[in-house]
């Protein structure tokens, strides 16, 4: 059943009728959508730090105000996320939940893309296994439940690969999909550049220029947004590197290279990583032409992660999510590739036994390492922290104090976007971090510290909220949690206490 085909569109696998496979895929997709909606309403979580800032900046644009990217320990701006934040902000406070829904929907789309990718390259059985592998990555599902923009980026990259697999050198549909991904994470710029080289190989000069314009969309738009908002076209690059150094998230090339294995195991788990590496060898041996596009995608995303990390960007696990996801089809080949062999052959039987052993190893490993109750607790805490902060800031005593003193102080930067969103504040100077005030005073600038002491409302996380939403970054100190002299407690709950001195 295996042949080395000439270049061209990948034909459907003949081992199963296309109509039957398509019907089952549509049923599975509908079931997955229903399950995602149930999870969305069962665990009403809220966006994470970066996504909240996308909401805030989107709300500024909706109100025809220029967003301010120069916030204390602010995240890198992502143009497409801000555009989505504009849409979400139309729905007021409900926009935060809509941001999460967008991430969950992206995860569903990514799983569908993973099935399509695996089916196109290695047949429907491998496609199903690839989709199940992504569906069972709790690391990725947890990011989706908290509104991380990385999930939408992964979905766009997967579907760009699918579009190319369906019709090699397809051109503008792939370029535009990669451009959208590149407006969420610059890793996709590498894919766009490589795809331009791939399409330009046999194109005329006019087509090459047209494709170059399409490949340049994401970096040009990103630089233009930075230039218009801040006056510095390289603002995102400079501030990202600076913040990574401040928070001690930068590493040398050796450490970045070592993190590929540790983060890959954290995201995919060890059995899947081992199966993926074996699957790469199998794919190159058995179906090199079919493996070309997904393998190139994996290697390019891996190189992008290494280049960014070695260049001074933050080295965190979710930045490897693109490469980790691109490895899954190869693990799926290791598990389900036996379906590509002639029925009844000795190699097919041996392959099935090996696949069963790998699946059993993965199941035992997952059973010992994954805690569904822990995942539910994490999501519930994330919901509680946001809702309880909203209750605290909207309590009558706190609202009365805020009318006298609009300035709000928090222990560090973690809760600032939540508080700004809840209170509807567009001016970042009205909600500040005590850690910033202390650091400024230590460097000879006590202005912010004086503002806080002169009259403000001070919020203090309590209990588990302290370790999740405060006192967690480099430069934070327990002293930022000590009530300021002269301030009186005006609100208390199990998760927050609020003091005022107006």
Q: For the residues 416-426, what does the mean pLDDT come to?
A: 89
Over pLDDT 90: what percentage of the chain? 56
Model confidence at 7, pLDDT cuts 50, 70, 90, reads very low
Query: For residue 252, is pLDDT > 80?
Result: no
What is the spatial distance between Cα 48 and Cα 197, in angstroms, rounded to a whole number? 36
Q: Which pTM does this prediction carry?
A: 0.90
At residue 314, the pLDDT reads 76
- Could you read off the pLDDT of 257-270 as tens digits, one per residue? 888 999 999 999 99
Q: For the residues 159-165, what does the mean pLDDT come to?
A: 96
Taking each continuous run of H as one helix and of E as one strand, the counts in the chain are 24, 5
Query: For residue 209, is pLDDT > 80?
Result: yes
* Mean pLDDT for all residues in the chain: 87
Distances in Å between the alpha carbon of 350 and those of 180, 197, 345, 366? 43, 41, 9, 24
Distances in Å between the alpha carbon of 189 and those of 107, 183, 185, 198, 219? 21, 9, 8, 14, 7
At residue 82, the pLDDT reads 96
At residue 315, the pLDDT reads 79
At residue 248, the pLDDT reads 60
At residue 484, the pLDDT reads 86
Query: For residue 5, is pLDDT > 60?
Result: no
- Could you read off the pLDDT of 397-406 as tens digits, one per residue? 999 999 998 9
Query: For residue 415, is pLDDT > 80?
Result: yes
Model confidence at 45, pLDDT cuts 50, 70, 90, reads confident
Q: For the residues 464-469, what does the mean pLDDT come to?
A: 64
At residue 1, the pLDDT reads 44
Give the range with max mean pLDDT: 159-168, 234-243, 408-417: 159-168
What is the spatial distance between Cα 462 and Cα 468, in angstroms, rounded to a whole number? 10
Range in 85-99, 130-144, 377-391, 408-422 with the lowest mean pLDDT: 377-391
Model confidence at 412, pLDDT cuts 50, 70, 90, reads confident
Q: For the residues 65-79, what does the mean pLDDT come to?
A: 89
The C-alpha angle with vertex 163 and arms to 158 and 167, in degrees rounded to 5, equals 145
Query: For residue 250, is pLDDT > 70?
Result: no
Residues across the chain? 502
Beta strands in 59-210 (DSSP E): none
Query: For residue 429, is pLDDT > 50?
Result: yes
At residue 371, the pLDDT reads 63
- Could you read off the pLDDT of 213-223 as tens digits, one per residue? 999 999 999 99
107 or 368: which carries more pLDDT confidence? 107
Model confidence at 246, pLDDT cuts 50, 70, 90, reads low
Q: For the residues 320-342, what does the mean pLDDT come to?
A: 94
Range in 112-121, 260-269, 367-376, 456-465 with the lowest mean pLDDT: 367-376
- Tell me if 142 sits within 8 A of 321, measured CB to CB: no
Query: For residue 197, is pLDDT > 60?
Result: yes
At residue 16, the pLDDT reads 47
Distances in Å between the alpha carbon of 221 and those of 184, 228, 229, 436? 11, 10, 12, 32
Model confidence at 375, pLDDT cuts 50, 70, 90, reads low
497 or 463: which carries more pLDDT confidence? 497
Burial class (CB in 10 A: 0-12, 13-18, 19+), 14: exposed
At residue 51, the pLDDT reads 92
At residue 10, the pLDDT reads 47
Model confidence at 467, pLDDT cuts 50, 70, 90, reads low
What is the spatial distance between Cα 104 and Cα 203, in angstroms, rounded to a whole number? 39
Model confidence at 421, pLDDT cuts 50, 70, 90, reads very high
| Helices 150-166 and 172-182, axial angle in degrees (round to 10) | 170
Q: For the residues 184-193, what does the mean pLDDT come to?
A: 94
């Amino acid at each position: 059943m295996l042949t080395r085909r000439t270049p061209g569109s990948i034909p459907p696998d003949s081992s199963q009728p296309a109509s039957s496979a398509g019907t089952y895929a549509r049923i599975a997709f509908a079931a997955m959508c229903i399950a995602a909606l149930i999870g969305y309403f069962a665990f009403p979580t809220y966006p994470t730090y970066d996504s909240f800032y996308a909401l805030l900046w989107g709300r500024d644009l909706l109100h025809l105000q220029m967003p301010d990217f120069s916030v204390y320990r602010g995240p890198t701006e992502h143009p497409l996320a801000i555009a989505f934040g504009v849409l979400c902000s139309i729905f007021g406070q409900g926009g935060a939940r809509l941001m999460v829904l967008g991430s969950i929907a992206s995860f569903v789309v990514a799983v569908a893309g993973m099935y399509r990718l695996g089916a196109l390259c290695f047949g429907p059985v491998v496609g199903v296994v690839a989709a199940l592998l992504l569906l069972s990555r709790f690391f990725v599902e947890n990011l989706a439940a908290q509104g991380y923009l990385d999930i939408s980026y992964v979905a766009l990259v997967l579907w760009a690969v699918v579009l190319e697999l369906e019709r090699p050198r397809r051109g503008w549909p792939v370029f535009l999909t990669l451009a959208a991904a590149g407006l969420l994470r610059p890793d996709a710029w590498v894919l766009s550049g490589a795809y331009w080289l791939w399409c330009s190989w046999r194109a005329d000069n006019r087509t090459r220029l047209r494709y170059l314009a399409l490949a340049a969309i994401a970096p040009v738009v990103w630089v233009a947004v930075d230039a218009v908002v801040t006056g510095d076209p390289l603002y995102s690059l400079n501030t990202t590197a600076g913040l990574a150094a401040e928070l001690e998230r930068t590493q040398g090339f050796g450490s970045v290279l070592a993190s590929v294995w540790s983060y890959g195991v954290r995201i995919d788990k060890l059995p899947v990583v081992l199966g993926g590496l074996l699957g790469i060898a199998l794919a190159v041996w058995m179906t090199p032409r079919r493996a070309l596009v997904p393998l190139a995608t994996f290697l390019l995303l891996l190189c992008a992660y290494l280049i960014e990390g070695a260049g001074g960007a933050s080295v965190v696990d979710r930045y490897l999510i693109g490469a980790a996801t691109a490895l899954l089809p190869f693990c799926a080949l290791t598990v389900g590739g036996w379906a590509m062999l002639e029925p009844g052959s000795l190699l097919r039987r041996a392959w099935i036994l090996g696949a069963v052993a790998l699946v059993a190893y993965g199941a035992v490993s997952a059973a010992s390492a994954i805690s569904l109750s822990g995942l539910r607790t994490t999501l519930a805490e994330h919901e509680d922290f946001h809702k309880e902060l909203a209750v605290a800031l909207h309590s009558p005593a706190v609202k009365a104090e805020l009318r006298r003193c609009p300035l709000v102080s928090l222990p560090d930067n973690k809760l600032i976007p939540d508080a700004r969103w809840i209170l509807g504040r567009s001016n970042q100077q009205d909600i500040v971090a005590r850690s910033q005030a202390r650091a400024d005073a230590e460097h000879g600038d006590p202005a912010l510290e004086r503002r806080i002491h002169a009259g403000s409302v001070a919020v203090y996380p309590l209990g588990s909220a302290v370790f999740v939403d405060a006192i967690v970054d480099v430069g934070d100190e327990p002293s930022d949690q000590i009530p300021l002299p002269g301030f009186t407690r005006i609100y208390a709950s199990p998760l927050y206490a609020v003091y005022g001195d107006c």
